Structure 1
Amino acid sequence: MQKRIAIVGGGIVGATAAYYLSKLPGSEKIKVTLFDDGVGQASKAAAGIISPWLSKRRNQQWYRLAKAGADLYPELIHDAQLGTDVYQQTGTIVTREDEADLETLFALAQDRRKTAATMGDVTTLTAQEVQDQVPLLTAPQPGVLITGGARVDGGALVEGLLASASKRNLKISHERVKLNAQGQVITSLGARQFDRVILAVGAWLKELVAPLGVNADIRPQKGQLIELAVKDYPLQEHMPVVMPEGERDFVPFGHGKLIVGATHENDGKFDISVNPEVTADLLGSAQRLVKSVTADSLTGVRVGTRAYTSDFAPFFGLVPEHEDFLVASGLGSSGLTTGPQIGKFLAGSALYGGTPDWSQYEKPLTTYLASSAE
């Protein structure tokens, strides 16, 4: 009899888990159903930078997880046969106006590179050299170039992974589901029982696990970014992404497409409507970097909802006292970096069982999940 596994949530964690559940040894013995209504998902709205190595976060568990996620990407993209429109190691440039700050940043990069071969080469660039690398910029600052940095389109990545898994053992149900106190998944066709359930709904986790008597330390945050049409330089798809000091992230894609953002709007919560004032702020950031950009350059706006914990750290693993359930949430703005590695971890656990030790990557789950009776 085939084992039945459910995934609730089709973002970066759910999609990667589904992909590995279709690829890992033994996948031919399972059936996977993914439930997702597609509303507000952070991953599908995101386009970001995979370059965790210069983060100044003091949380070393997060850094190890983010580094592992960056290391996984080339293998995942190759194995899933996804193209450069989804992910490409273009390099990343982190800029600093002050010379002393630039030297400090470079020293940090050199130190981190000792244990992170994926970083590639690390060099300092003058403002002119930054502009030579990214000719779109009209007001460049000096910076540090990390050749192993990359850009990724979250929506295209999720779509590609789910399409691959759907060719094997994945069925996708486009609906929002709930859980009941008996641990069943309540669908539009009634209650269904699964052998294992992966809960990867991000900011919606608190509501989802409440019937299990579990309280989750999760809050929502709105994020918005803009897409712009800019001059299509030759080989633009190879331009490094830029993390400019004092401005929004600057992510050039090929064929004259530029993405700028994203915002961090705590008051926005689950609101996924476009905020014209925020759009204007993002456009202003773009114009300070590229003088030719105008309101007419705007081609699209993406909005999604991220999930955060009180200490801004992600968590994942077996739900305490409900070990048929695996969970992941709290990825925040680093979801595209950490999500694939978390999804792979959860897929392996759902398929093979056991109690893996992930303590090098996170605090105990009881830090974030507690019995609502307490």
Structure 2
Amino acid sequence: MSQVTLVVGAGAIGLLTSYKLAKAGLNVILLEAGATGQESSWAGGGIVSPLYPWRYSPAVTALAHWSQAFYPSFGEQLHQESGIDPEVHATGLYWLDLEDETDALSWAQALNRPLSSVSIDSVEAAVPSLRKNYFQHALYMPGVANIRNPRLLQSLRAALLKLPNVQLREQCPVTGFIHENHRITGVETAQGKVFSERVILAAGAWSGQLLATLGLKIPVKPMKGQMILFKCAADFLPVMVMTKERYAIPRRDGHILIGSTLEDVGFDKTTTSEAQTSLLNSAVELLPELANAQIIKHWAGLRPGSPEGIPYIGPVPEYEGLWLNCGHFRNGLVLAPASCQLLTELVLQQPTSIDPSPYTTAGRIEFC
């Protein structure tokens, strides 16, 4: 069993890391504390773009651009392999009344991204459900997709389970690492010890807690986000819209997601009436007809917050055999394909598709 790669955490990052490593021929055991894909990856909106891409560092932009180009064909591939359609839904995205519109347009011009200023009249014509005579300015980027993240997670899980060199162990929380002379040889779990050649930590908001058992400290912490869901006619909202840090995301069947809050409250996933009221007000500000629609679901998830949202991807110099793929903050689904591709290339010692230096763990980890 020593020639096994252990992946800790079966969210989007852990699932896709396992998938890519297994496709490359490695034997993989994926360990999940609860059920697959039930934390941050499930709780997010699934927009295949950072919410405000021009506000991020080039490190985040590089991963996002690679992933955006990858998702459409990958969605089709997963559908064929698993029988479950992740529903990559390219609708485009409107940003309304941005304070930093000039910065956004400058960013788009510098990086040759298809972002442009459009008239409010054209937005109101394209989105009949939008509040009329209210917004003043708009930017539009065509081709921006959203992915139905619960279905993506189901599809990835099903595709993984068809691979002969993958084991998935759910309800198997990792409690610590097995190590000798700063060499990681496996993990301690609620079901006993599991030995491996390497361990890849992809445990989202819980990654910092697990690293602390080794005396290591990274600034990855939980940041709660709450969302609400409506069910409308399939043609109610044909495109994604954003204003004042809030967004409306249409699914193909008429479900409309409104999100999200950003709360620094530790590992508390409790939903609150205050957040629901705030989200409902944002929904009605954008789409007045939602005032008469029933909220059919309200939930919360814990994002893995990190400085500037730059993830940790690569080996941990302090412990041979330990690797990280964590700290993606609000952009785990957006950045997952590129992050997992990069990690796989590093593990296999292949040329990398993306410069790995911004994501290195060296110099970004402290001893407790």
* Higher mean C-alpha deviation, range 339-348 or range 318-327: 339-348
Q: How does 1:1-374 map to 2 (within 5 A)?
A: 3-24=3-24, 26-27=25-26, 30-38=27-35, 41-52=39-50, 55-57=53-55, 59-81=57-79, 86-96=87-97, 102=101, 105-113=104-112, 121-139=114-132, 141=135, 142-168=137-163, 169-175=165-171, 176-182=173-179, 183=184, 184-233=186-235, 239-244=238-243, 246-266=244-264, 268-294=265-291, 296-350=293-347, 352-353=348-349, 359=355, 362-372=358-368
**Counterparts of 1:370 and 1:355 in 2: how far apart (Å)?**
28
Q: In 2, distance between residues paired with 1:174 and 1:128?
A: 51
* Aligned residue identity for 1:204: W
What amino acid is the match of 1:69?
Answer: S
Question: SS at the partner of 2:167?
Answer: strand
8 Å contact kept, 1:218–1:330 = yes
TM-score, normalised by the number of residues in structure 2: 0.86
Secondary structure of the structure 2 residue equivalent to 1:328 = strand
- What SS does structure 2 have at the residue aligned with 1:111? helix
Q: 1:301 to 1:367 in 2, by over 3 A?
A: farther
- In 2, the alpha carbon distance for the partners of 1:137 and 1:85 equals 27
1:99-135 residue CA offsets vs partner (Å, 9 max, x unmatched): xx6566445433322xxxxx5x544322221122222
CA contact (8 A) 2:96 2:242 kept: yes
8 Å CA contact 2:9, 2:33 repeated in 1: yes
CA 95–36 in structure 1, closer or farther in 2 if over 3 Å, else same: same
Secondary structure of the structure 2 residue equivalent to 1:180:
strand
In structure 2, what is the Cα distance between the partners aligned to 1:250 and 1:17?
29
Of 187-196 and 58-67, more deviation after overlay is shown by: 58-67
SS of 1:293's partner is helix
SS in 1 for 2:160: helix
Deviation at residue 363 of structure 1 after TM alignment: 4.8
Calculate the TM-score normalised by the size of structure 1.
0.85
CA distance in 1 between counterparts of 2:363 and 2:353 reads 16
Q: Which amino acid aligns with 1:137?
A: L
The one-letter amino acid paired with 1:340 is: P
Which amino acid is the alignment partner of residue 33 of structure 1? L
* Partner amino acid, structure 2, of 1:161: L
Verify the 8 A CA contact 1:95 1:102 in the aligned structure 2: no
Q: 1:192 and 1:97 mapped to 2: Cα distance? A: 50
Segments of 5+ residues of structure 2 without an aligned counterpart are: none
DSSP 3-state at the match of 1:3: coil
CA deviation profile, 1:69-119 (whole Å, cap 9, x unmatched): 222222322322277653222211122278xx6566445433322xxxxx5
- Equivalent residues of 1:46, 1:155 under 8 A apart: no
State the shift of 1:225 in Å: 0.8
The answer to which of 300-309 and 32-41 deviates more is: 32-41
- Give the superposition deviation at 1:368: 2.8
Contact 2:246 2:259 (8 Å CA) reproduced: yes
Please say if residues 57 and 63 of structure 1, whose CA atoms lie closer than 8 Å, have aligned partners that are also in contact. Answer: no
* Cα distance in 1, alignment partners of residues 4 and 322 from structure 2: 13
Query: What percentage of residue pairs aligned between the two structures are identical?
Result: 25
Q: Deviations over 1:302-359 (max 9, x none)?
A: 3111112244422211012223121122211122211221122223444x25796965
Segments of 5+ residues of structure 1 without an aligned counterpart are 114-118
